[in-house]
Amino acid sequence: MSRPERLANLAGVVVPFVGVLAAILLLWNQWVDWIDLGIFAVMYFTTALGVTVGFHRLLTHRSFRTAPWLEQSFAVMGSLSVQGSVMDWVADHRKHHAHTDVEGDPHSPHVGHGSGLPGLWHAHTGWLLETQGQADWKKYAKDLYEDPAMRKIGKRFPWLVVASLLIPTLLGYVLHGFTWEGALRGYIWGGLVRIFLVHHVTWSVNSVCHYFGSRRFDIEDKSTNVAWLAIPSLGESWHHNHHAFPRSAQHGLKRREIDLSALVIRGLERAGLAHDVVRITPERQAQKAIQPDREREKVLTPS
Q: pLDDT tens-digit profile of 195-228?
A: 988 998 999 999 999 988 999 999 999 999 999 9
Q: pLDDT tens-digit profile of 271-294?
A: 999 999 999 999 999 999 988 655
Confidence of residue 1 (pLDDT cuts 50, 70, 90): very low
pLDDT of residue 299: 40
**Is the residue at 250 inside a domain?**
no
- In this prediction, residues 31-59 reach a mean pLDDT of 95
CA dihedral 129, 46, 161, 38 (to 10 degrees): -110
In the chain, pLDDT over 70 holds for what percent of residues?
86
β partners of residue 275: 65
Distance of alpha carbon 222 from alpha carbon 109, whole angstroms:
10
Question: For 134, how many CA atoms within 13 A lie in the half-sphere containing its CB?
Answer: 11
pLDDT of residue 205: 95
**Is the residue at 204 inside a domain?**
yes
pLDDT of residue 300: 35
**Is the residue at 226 inside a domain?**
no
**Is the residue at 36 inside a domain?**
yes
Asked if the model's pLDDT at residue 2 lies above 50, the reply is: no
pLDDT of residue 18: 60
Helical residues (DSSP H) of 99-141, grouped into ranges: 117-124, 137-140
- Give me the chain's average pLDDT, please: 88
Distance of alpha carbon 41 from alpha carbon 34, whole angstroms:
10
**Is the residue at 270 inside a domain?**
no
**Is the residue at 129 inside a domain?**
yes
192: Cβ–Cβ under 8 A, 6 or more apart, which residues? 165
Confidence of residue 32 (pLDDT cuts 50, 70, 90): confident
Asked if the model's pLDDT at residue 8 lies above 60, the reply is: no
- In this prediction, residues 100-129 reach a mean pLDDT of 85
* Torsions phi, psi for 267 (to 5 deg): -65, -40
User: What burial class does residue 3 get, using C-beta atoms within 10 Å of its C-beta: 0-12 exposed, 13-18 middle, 19+ buried?
Assistant: exposed
User: What burial class does residue 136 get, using C-beta atoms within 10 Å of its C-beta: 0-12 exposed, 13-18 middle, 19+ buried?
Assistant: exposed
Confidence of residue 5 (pLDDT cuts 50, 70, 90): very low
Distance of alpha carbon 273 from alpha carbon 74, whole angstroms:
13
Q: pLDDT tens-digit profile of 221-241?
A: 999 999 999 999 999 999 999
**Is the residue at 201 inside a domain?**
yes
**Is the residue at 109 inside a domain?**
yes
If one counts the domains in the chain, the total is 1
pLDDT of residue 298: 47
Tell me the residue range of the domain where 83 lies: 3-217
